């Protein structure tokens, strides 16, 4: 499960739905103590999501509006995958979208639940246990000129 929030409290929550196998987005207008549920949607179809996949989310914002919301998960073939919302392009994603990490084919260790996403104005970092170097955290990194992959070293 992952979530992002604007300075106004406007919140998006993302989780794997065990009923239909997709990733669900919940929209809440503030913290649960003062906010209320607005709507929900299914930004990632079940055919593209591994059973019981972890979900990680990160945000590009100007503090007042969502510019991009990136949702990361594993495909049924354990490929690190991505869908994202862009304020100009709408929802982008799928195995054929070259701007998504999915197109790079980075494979995670089957069944592993570790997944995180971080972002700032210069990069998006997505950490996971790679199938390549077992038991090692790897990071896919996007810096505007494409995705790269590196493993944690001593």
Q: What is the pLDDT of residue 133?
A: 66
pLDDT of 23 strictly over 80:
yes
> At 20, is the pLDDT very low, low, confident or very high (cuts 50, 70, 90)?
very high
Could you read off the pLDDT of 135-151 as tens digits, one per residue?
689 999 999 889 999 98
Domains of the chain: 2-151 (2.120.10.70)
Average pLDDT over residues 120-147: 89
Average pLDDT over residues 100-106: 94
pLDDT of 21 strictly over 70:
yes
Distance CA 11, CA 45 (A): 21
Sign of the C-alpha dihedral, residues 43, 100, 118, 78? positive
Distance CA 67, CA 62 (A): 7
pLDDT of 132 strictly over 90:
no
Model confidence pTM above 0.95 = no
């Amino acid at each position: 499960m992952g979530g992002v929030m604007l300075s106004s409290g406007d919140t998006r929550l993302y989780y794997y739905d065990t009923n239909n196998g997709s990733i669900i987005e919940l929209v809440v207008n503030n913290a649960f103590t003062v906010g209320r549920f607005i709507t929900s949607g299914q930004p990632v179809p079940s055919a593209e999501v591994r059973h019981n996949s972890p979900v990680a989310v990160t945000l590009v914002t100007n503090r007042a509006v969502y510019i991009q919301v990136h949702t990361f998960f594993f495909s049924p073939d354990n490929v690190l995958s991505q869908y994202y919302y862009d304020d100009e392009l709408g929802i982008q994603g799928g195995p054929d979208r070259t701007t998504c990490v999915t197109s790079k084919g980075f494979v995670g260790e089957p069944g592993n639940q570790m997944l995180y996403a971080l972002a700032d104005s210069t990069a998006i970092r997505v950490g996971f246990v790679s199938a390549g170097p077992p038991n090692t955290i790897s990071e896919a990194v996007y810096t505007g000129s494409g995705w790269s992959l590196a493993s944690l070293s001593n």
